[in-house]
């Protein structure tokens, strides 16, 4: 039933190969965050692997494989976030801020470009606003117009938030 939801709606409804959370004990202590890749379908794509400077996204045996991650090698650099054509990669830093705050590093290809310090709507997989967030940094790792926006968000919602919307 879970897999049917993905194919019928296009909305990921839970963990499965190619869409898993980092190991909790490492995730809670890793400065700069860890990547999460939500790419559960076998498709011919591997920019997450080829763009990873540390080898954290493991080599694909077949170009259609779903990504596998060696979290001990992930530095939270966001190079894969900016290269993924499906906007399926993002980084979550649970060590950022206080007990209730996390930093999400999300791909962003829309206009207007969010400004540092701006409040944005944080959206779930269905595009519904679930929270507010504050833009901490905007970067362009590959200088190709694909931005990575760092947003301070409620820690309890990091597995729900997947995009932002600039509030006018």
Q: What is the pLDDT of residues 88-116, one digit of tens each?
A: 999 999 999 889 999 999 999 999 999 99
- Is residue 139 classed as helix, strand or coil in its secondary structure? strand
d(CA 82, CA 160): 20
Assess whether pLDDT exceeds 90 at residue 55.
yes
Predicted pLDDT at 17: 66
Domain ranges of the chain: 15-166
């Amino acid at each position: 039933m879970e897999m049917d939801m993905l194919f019928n709606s296009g909305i990921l409804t839970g963990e499965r190969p190619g869409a898993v959370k980092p190991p909790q004990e490492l995730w809670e202590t890793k400065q700069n965050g860890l990547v999460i890749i939500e790419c559960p379908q076998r498709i011919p794509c591997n920019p997450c692997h080829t763009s990873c400077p540390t080898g954290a996204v493991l080599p694909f045996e077949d170009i259609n494989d779903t990504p596998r991650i060696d979290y001990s090698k992930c530095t939270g650099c966001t190079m894969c976030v900016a290269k993924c054509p499906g906007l399926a990669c993002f980084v979550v830093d649970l060590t950022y801020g206080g007990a209730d705050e996390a930093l999400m590093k999300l791909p962003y290809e829309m206009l207007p470009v969010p400004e540092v310090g701006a409040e944005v709507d944080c959206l779930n997989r269905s595009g519904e606003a679930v929270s507010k967030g504050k833009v901490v940094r905007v970067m362009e790792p590959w200088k190709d117009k694909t931005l990575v926006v760092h947003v301070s968000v409620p820690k309890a919602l990091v597995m729900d938030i997947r995009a932002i919307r600039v509030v006018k």
